[in-house]
Amino acid sequence: MIAIIDYDAGNLKSVQKALDFLHQECVITRDFHEIRQADKVILPGVGSFGEAMAQLKKYELDKVIQEVVEEKKPFLGICLGLQLLFEGSEESSGVEGLHLLDGQILRIPDTEGLKIPHIGWNSLDLWNNGRLFAGLPEHPYVYFVHSYYLKAKDDRIVKATTEYGTHIHASVEQDNIFACQFHPEKSSTVGLKILENFAGI
């Protein structure tokens, strides 16, 4: 069973629908027992970094996230869920992230001709044999909605990158932690394959 963490963020239902389509048992929950009992955990998210961290702390979900990661359960952060796994974000100065991984979340630079937020389909460059991307072509297209991006401290955890005004670390993997800046649940057959790969880990 896959637990989708509910902290009043958006895109919960779309993640659930994608997993339902793949015939994966899942539940949207903030119940500590259900999250601890799950085989895998997903942290989705849209919105601002600071508000999201405040919600996680309000429900004390930051603590249960630490627990399940330490137990080596497969854990997937999606979009804002990726950003929350790191130290902090330029979006919310002074707010500490979960800091399960090392890196910073930076604002996409203002570049002539590029709209921010970045909304739309971009191709990925796949690195370092990421398990989420098994069976996919070399440059799959996925769907992004974001104004901030990851710069990981250690390139070895980066499994996919894209270019949008800057070099974006679009997906990372370290031990049992996986994360995507893009939305696999909105990325058609490619995204479904990524979620299927996660479910199979």
Active site residues: 79, 183, 185
Q: Which two tokens stand for residue 83?
A: 């950003």
SS3 126: strand
Compute the distance between CA of residue 194 and CA of residue 171 in angstroms, rounded to an integer. 11
Give dist(CA 190, CA 136) in Å, integer: 7
168, HSE (Cβ side, Cα atoms, 13 Å): 26
Contacts of 58 (CB under 8 A, 6+ apart): 7
Alpha helices in the chain (DSSP H): 12-21, 32-37, 49-58, 61-70, 80-83, 188-199
Name the phi and psi angles at 139, rounded to 5.
-130, 70
What is the DSSP code string of 72-93?
T--EEEETHHHHTTSSEETTST
